[in-house]
Amino acid sequence: MNHFLDIHKTDPAELKAILSQAATMKSARNGAPKATPDSEQPLANHMVALIFEKPSTRTRVSFDVGVRQMGGETMVLSGADMQLGHGETIADTARVMSRYVDLIMIRTFDESVLTEMAEHATVPVINGLTDRSHPCQIMADLMTYEEHRGAIQGRKVVWSGDGNNVCASWLHAAAQMGFDFTFTGPVQLDPEMEFVGLARQAGVQVTIERDPMRAVDGADLVITDTWVSMHDAQSARERRHNMLRPYQVNRDLMAKAKPDALFMHCLPAHREEEVTSEVMDGPHSVVWDEAENRLHAQKAVMRWCVGA
Q: Does 59 bind ligand CP (CB under 6 A)?
A: yes
User: In this structure, are residues 4 and 140 in contact, taking their beta carbons and an 8 Å threshold?
Assistant: no
Report, in Å, the least distance between residue 129 CB and ligand NVA.
6
Strand, coil or helix: 142? helix
Q: Does 240 bind ligand CP (CB under 6 A)?
A: no
29 assigned to active site: no
Q: Is 305 annotated as a binding residue?
A: no
Q: Which residue is nearest to ligand NVA (CB)?
A: 229
265 touching ligand CP, by CB under 6 A: no
Q: Is 107 a known active-site residue?
A: yes
Query: How far is the C-alpha of 140 from the C-alpha of 137, rounded, in Å?
Result: 5
Confirm or reject binding of residue 266 to ligand CP (CB under 6 A): yes
Q: Catalytic residue at 149?
A: no
Nearest residue to 255 (alpha-carbon basis) of 299, 217, 289, 305: 217
Check the annotation: does 134 bind a ligand: yes
Q: Is 132 in the site for ligand CP (CB under 6 A)?
A: no
User: Measured between alpha carbons, how far is residue 196 from residues 193, 284, 307 in Å?
Assistant: 5, 27, 32
Q: Where are the beta strands (DSSP E) in the chain?
A: 47-52, 73-78, 103-107, 125-127, 156-160, 180-184, 206-208, 221-224, 262-265
* 150 burial type by CB count under 10 A (0-12 exposed, 13-18 middle, 19+ buried): exposed
Query: Interface with ligand CP includes 137 (CB under 6 A)?
Result: yes
Selection from ligand NVA, ligand CP, none that 108 binds (CB < 5 to 8 A by kind) is: none
Q: Is 56 annotated as a binding residue?
A: yes
The 3-state DSSP class for residue 156 equals: strand
DSSP 3-state of 192 = coil
Please tell me whether 136 is known to bind a ligand.
Answer: yes
135 is in an annotated binding site: yes
Partner whose footprint covers residue 57, from ligand CP, ligand NVA, none (CB < 5 to 8 Å by kind) = ligand CP
Residue 90 burial by CB count (10 A; 0-12/13-18/19+): exposed, middle or buried?
buried
> Which residue lies nearer to ligand CP by CB, 65 or 202?
65
The residue type found at 49 is A
Q: Which of 8, 26, 46, 58 binds ligand CP (CB under 6 A)?
A: 58
Please, are residues 200 and 206 in contact by the beta-carbon 8 Å criterion? yes
Distance CA 218, CA 135 (A): 26
Which 3 state secondary structure label does DSSP give 14?
A: helix
Binding part of the chain for ligand CP, among 4-12, 76-84, 173-181, 265-273 by CB under 6 A, reads 265-273
Residue ranges in contact with ligand NVA by CB under 6 A:
164-166, 225-226, 229-230, 266
Nearer to ligand CP, 55 or 282 (CB): 55
- Residue 57 near ligand CP by CB under 6 A: yes
* 137 among known catalytic residues: yes
How many residues comprise the chain?
A: 308
Residue 226 in the binding site for ligand CP (CB under 6 A) = no
* Annotated binding-site members for L-ornithine: 165, 225, 229-230
* Residues identified as active-site: 107, 134, 137, 225, 266, 294
* Annotated binding-site members for carbamoyl phosphate: 56-59, 83, 107, 134-137, 266-267, 294
